[in-house]
Structure 1
């Protein structure tokens, strides 16, 4: 069993987390994830005849032993690319007499000993075992014989690493066994899985505070409306406001900070941004609010009452800030669907307990339909209630293209999603229509 990891040096490790966490906390995250992975590997080793080795980058063997214990072998990674480093690790292990070798990354907090057991057992009848990651890579690869060709001509770091490796294995006439798909933790939005799998440690992840509501607002160039939205919620007792920004080039970030909101930089895409904001929230309840939507008076009390009455989640009724009669019909349709079908959308201020949100894995990291998918999973657990009090959302998206055309585009997206069209494809089509 070989664990690939890095020495947790601030500013060098988990650099893609630094904008959201800072250098020290990003290094702390690396250390925490590595410790958890090694604990899982050690638990597996305790019941099996298995050597445990750590292949590390950065630091040295002494510092790695001081950080992660002396009960395992430490060797530095050799090679420029990940492919070269894997080739070297497998070659050394097989040359030293190993008959089955499994390499795992240290960025998968969902890993457990049963997965390692399945991987090792599968190598008795399969040549290659792969554990696919949601981001398109893999968190585990196992071999029962050295296969250096498996790691050549792979676009390392891209979203097709798993697919290319599986295709390469077939070309080499290897029998492949695939494990369940799990999450790697590489970007701020991935921290959602850590909130479910890891205890808050060393200040890396926030502690949940009972009675605190976290309002997460995804933004991208929203300087025209963000101040009005934040002015209604910043400063409320027992409410924290987190702006999850996807790379605004205007004054959105400056206005948000001046208003008193915390700003979390995130990869663009509403699902990713809301996950990143939620992962760094301290509230025991989470409310996701679009940047052009204003909450009603007493929103905090409405939310608490709804959750305390047993709903798994909730949303507010919808009001659109324009007097055109066509928009009144849209409001009626949205509120009818939400009340009787339990299908609110993101512009209605979705809210849920933090515990439940993290347990179901948060939003999918999609640019579109992330709210539909979240509500689909929530409805399997209970009722999504509609609050009579209404949020007020901007009419801008209906007025830009016209009420009828905007409604038709929205319904076509819903239908396409129901037919299995990937959200990324729908998003490209949606943007081209707008």
Structure 2
């Protein structure tokens, strides 16, 4: 039977040659059911675009920045629903079944719960807090595979072109339209950056950045803090 909606999965990538093929192979069952996968590359100099092209319906090249890339993907998307997926995140096998339920609901947007891929107990605690925060506030982050109806996305003019917090900012505006449709089945996000930079260090950094964002600091200054902290953690 035909799906009651059409889905566009939009995947922003940059320098993802090591993992982009695996990410896109996991999306082939969605393509097989008639939905589209759009990859938006920010001008990678590795083999990201070459590896992605045969595994997606459309490859778009845009400027850098997830907000810019996701808007570029949405501009060419054909679906009734847009799903924004990070390159290091995997959807559950039954994601489409849950999205059918969303399509039949009256909600404008939604997100998945999240689970980190690592086996350390700390990662389970982190994911629990992330999911609880979203449940209480309605705010979600890109790791949770945000999805939104085309008409709501277009009415709100998509993501603001900002270097950080674009997902939080868009969530705040979407919450004015409706509460999110929450899918408890988790997406799985690669825990590599948490392991490389330190789990607790990463937690404190992200909470510090969000706190300063809520207090009115510019995304540009927060992006500088984030890049500086990542560089220091890598030394």
| Structure 1 length-normalised TM | 0.51
In the alignment, what sits opposite 2:233?
A: none
More helix by share: 2
In the alignment, what sits opposite 1:226?
A: 20
Secondary structure, in 3 states, of the residue corresponding to 2:164? coil
In the alignment, what sits opposite 1:288?
A: 84
| Distance 1:409-1:280 versus aligned 2 partners, 3 A rule | same
Secondary structure, in 3 states, of the residue corresponding to 1:315? strand
Of residues 99, 103, 117, the one that matches 1:321 is: 117
Secondary structure, in 3 states, of the residue corresponding to 1:217? strand
Report which structure shows greater RCO (CA 8 Å, sep ≥6).
Answer: 2
> What does residue range 16-415 of structure 1 map to in structure 2 within 5 Å?
211-234=5-28, 235-415=31-211
In the alignment, what sits opposite 1:432?
A: 228
Please provide the CA RMSD for this pair. Answer: 1.2
Partner Cα separation in structure 2 for residue 351 and residue 406 of structure 1: 25
CA displacement, residues 404-432 of structure 1 (integer Å, 9 cap, x when unaligned): 10011111110111111111111111011
Partner Cα separation in structure 2 for residue 326 and residue 236 of structure 1: 37
Partner Cα separation in structure 1 for residue 56 and residue 85 of structure 2: 16
Partner Cα separation in structure 2 for residue 215 and residue 253 of structure 1: 17
Q: How many residues align?
A: 225
**Residue 341 of structure 1, CA deviation:** 2.1
| Structure 2 length-normalised TM | 0.92
Partner Cα separation in structure 2 for residue 319 and residue 356 of structure 1: 27
Partner Cα separation in structure 2 for residue 355 and residue 367 of structure 1: 25
CA contact (8 A) 1:213 1:287 kept: yes
**Deviant stretches of 4+, over 6 Å:** none
**Residue 260 of structure 1, CA deviation:** 3.2
Partner Cα separation in structure 2 for residue 401 and residue 422 of structure 1: 24
Q: Which runs of 5+ in 1 are unaligned?
A: 1-209
Secondary structure, in 3 states, of the residue corresponding to 2:27? coil
Secondary structure, in 3 states, of the residue corresponding to 1:211? coil
CA contact (8 A) 1:214 1:283 kept: yes
